[in-house]
Amino acid sequence: MNLKAGLLGGGSWGTTVASLIARNAPVKIWARCADTVNEINDNHSNSKYLPGATLNSKLVATHCIEEAVSGCDVLVMGVPSQHFRSVLQQASEHIRPWVPVISLTKGLEAGTELRMTEIINEVLPGHPVGVLTGPNLAREIIAGQAAAGVMAMEDEIIVRALQELFHSGLFRVYTNTDLVGCELGGVLKNIIAIAVGMGDGQGAGDNTRSALITRGLAEITRLGVAMGGRTETFAGLAGMGDLIATCTSPQSRNRHVGYELGKGRSLDEVISEMLMVAEGVKSAPTVVALGKRYGVEMPITGDVFSVLQGERTPRQAFRGLLKSSVGSESEPG
């Protein structure tokens, strides 16, 4: 391809996506850590986040944001939500006009309740924005296992043009014009995964897990549609697909947090041992606030939030979910 890409963020998913892009087009990845940059350039690996994986030999790393951004035709943001705005502001000094900006981050900004694409619109008005999302566990994809993702932008022409940049080998990329729905699906499923993990940590069975995933999907669909997403999006890869992977995989950071909480460990203890961010922990307060703003009942999210705040134990929350009143399947609860 004639396009050149810049990718900001040297974590597991950012590095994986950069390696995928390198098969199709020149790409420079920016990472904060000089050791990570040197390892990618010298050894074609990122052992801190992707132990044992071999990266595409064409991938070039840098710890200079200007070098990654100034000549790119597409900018990809793989930065955690709490650093997203500050890194993007640094990039804004070097990016050319009208360059599309694609987010990989499945979180919300604390304090503003903004999605990552809304932050892009604020910091870089006029730039086309999009997300790459779906059931994408980085270690499986970098190992060459088959997977599928969704590239979402409101402009159908641009999203189809960029689809080929990410589509690679056994990683199939579909397109969608429901930017809001796709982005929210990636955010909201993290909290349901914490709930499922809490059940697994307490020894819940497969039936319980299935019920939580299904009711969780109904819950995130209600909020997603109220915020402007399309119902069918939440039945696809960005909704149900991502939810299943995040709720069932041992590689899921959010499920891991819930699992350890379910075993009786404290949140601070669990988080202190984790190398990467569990976005659901950071997003939960914002999602609860959004549910109230849009008048959407979210019992599972509410119970997860109460545990994360230390107001209830996982066992108390789980008992509350199991004892909640029942009605029509189309109703909350």
- Positions marked active-site: 189
Range of the domain at 34: 5-177
Last residue of a domain, one of 177, 210, 230: 177
195 plus 109 within the same structural domain: no
83 plus 161 within the same structural domain: yes
67 plus 135 within the same structural domain: yes
Q: What is the pTM of this model?
A: 0.92
171 plus 25 within the same structural domain: yes
136 plus 206 within the same structural domain: no
Last residue of a domain, one of 145, 177, 209: 177
Position 152 in a domain: yes
The whole-number pLDDT of residue 62 equals 97
The whole-number pLDDT of residue 138 equals 94
233 plus 99 within the same structural domain: no
The whole-number pLDDT of residue 280 equals 87
153 plus 227 within the same structural domain: no
Last residue of a domain, one of 132, 154, 177: 177
Three-state helix/strand/coil letters over the chain: CCCCEEEECCCHHHHHHHHHHCCCCCEEEECCCHHHHHHHHHHCCCCCCCCCCCCCCCCEEECCHHHHHCCCCEEEECCCHHHHHHHHHHHHCCCCCCCCEEECCCCECCCCCCEHHHHHHHHCCCCCEEEEECCCCHHHHHCCCCEEEEEEECCHHHHHHHHHHHCECCEEEEEECCHHHHHHHHHHHHHHHHHHHHHHHCCCCHHHHHHHHHHHHHHHHHHHHHCCCCHHHHHCHHHHHHHHHHHHCCCCHHHHHHHHHHCCCCHHHHHHCCCCCCHHHHHHHHHHHHHHHCCCCCHHHHHHHHHHCCCCCHHHHHHHHHHCCCCCCCCCC
Number of domains in the chain: 2
- pLDDT tens per residue, the chain (333 residues)? 689 999 999 999 999 999 999 999 999 999 999 999 999 999 999 999 999 999 999 999 999 999 999 999 999 999 999 999 999 999 999 999 999 999 999 999 989 999 999 999 999 999 999 999 999 999 999 999 999 999 999 999 999 999 999 998 889 999 999 999 999 999 999 999 999 999 999 999 999 999 999 999 999 999 999 999 999 999 999 999 999 999 999 999 999 999 999 999 999 999 999 888 788 899 999 999 999 999 999 999 999 999 999 999 988 887 766 665 555 566 666
Position 330 in a domain: no
